[in-house]
Amino acid sequence: MDRYAEIAQHVQNGYSERARKAVEAALAEGCPAERVLKEGLIAGMEVVAAKFKSGQMFLPEVLAVAGAMKAGMELVKPLLVAARHEPLGKVVLGTVRGDMHDIGKNLVAIMLQGAGFDVVDLGTDVRVEKFIDAIEREHPDVVGMSALLTTTMVHMKTVIEALKQRDLRAHVKVIVGGAPISKNFASEIGADGYARDAATAVDVVKELLNSR
């Protein structure tokens, strides 16, 4: 088993300490941080997501997996961020109200930072007022919203409506993403962009900034 497969296996098993050590070893051996992230950590998480969906894994196991993913990501993140130069722009990012899922949103943050953007991460369960306050305070170029639940994705529209009411909509581009989100949904709620994964999110944010 190569290092990447080993990391993916520890993530799948929810072994935080082993995942952390395997990531540490891979980086010490010169494995690129991008490959450790994609072929190790994300690959492991993808297997778990499929198993959870089909009822082969349950919440307590998934929580352990999330911990292992986080342990690995903490080592990879500074390396991806260190490669950056002058900020390309500022992005305010958060998982919407009622939603605690942050693994995908954190990946988007890491990828954006790695690509050279300043990211203000508001965390999870972000209420509309918190998005608005951050936008008024930080003056970002883009606001990014993540949702993993069909019951919380509706809050994305609430934020966009609040931006209009505060006359902020023209000053900030909006990108949305997350497992239940589609391009159609993004257009319906009036977002400027949609990305199905973290790498695409970087491309979309760049396109949105170029289109201003």
**Stretch (H or E) spanning 63:** helix 59-82
CA distance 135 to 131: 6
Going by C-beta distance under 8 Å and a sequence separation of 6 or more, which residues neighbour residue 150? 180
Is there binding between residue 101 and ligand B1M (CB under 6 A)? Answer: yes
| CB closer to ligand B1M out of 29 and 211 | 211
CA distance 206 to 195: 12
Could you give the string, one character per residue 178-197, with x where binding to ligand B1M holds by CB under 6 A and - elsewhere? Answer: xxx--------------x-x
Residue 193 β-bridge partners: 175
Could you give the string, one character per residue 28-47, with x where binding to ligand B1M holds by CB under 6 A and - elsewhere? Answer: --------------x--x--
Is there binding between residue 97 and ligand B1M (CB under 6 A)? Answer: no
**Stretch (H or E) spanning 176:** strand 173-177
Q: Minimal distance in Å, beta carbon 85 to ligand B1M?
A: 23
**19 phi and psi angles, rounded to 5 deg:** -65, -45
Is there binding between residue 140 and ligand B1M (CB under 6 A)? Answer: no
- Residues near ligand B1M (CB under 6 A) are 42, 45, 49, 52-53, 59, 62-63, 66, 98-105, 107-108, 144-146, 148-150, 175-180, 195, 197-198, 201
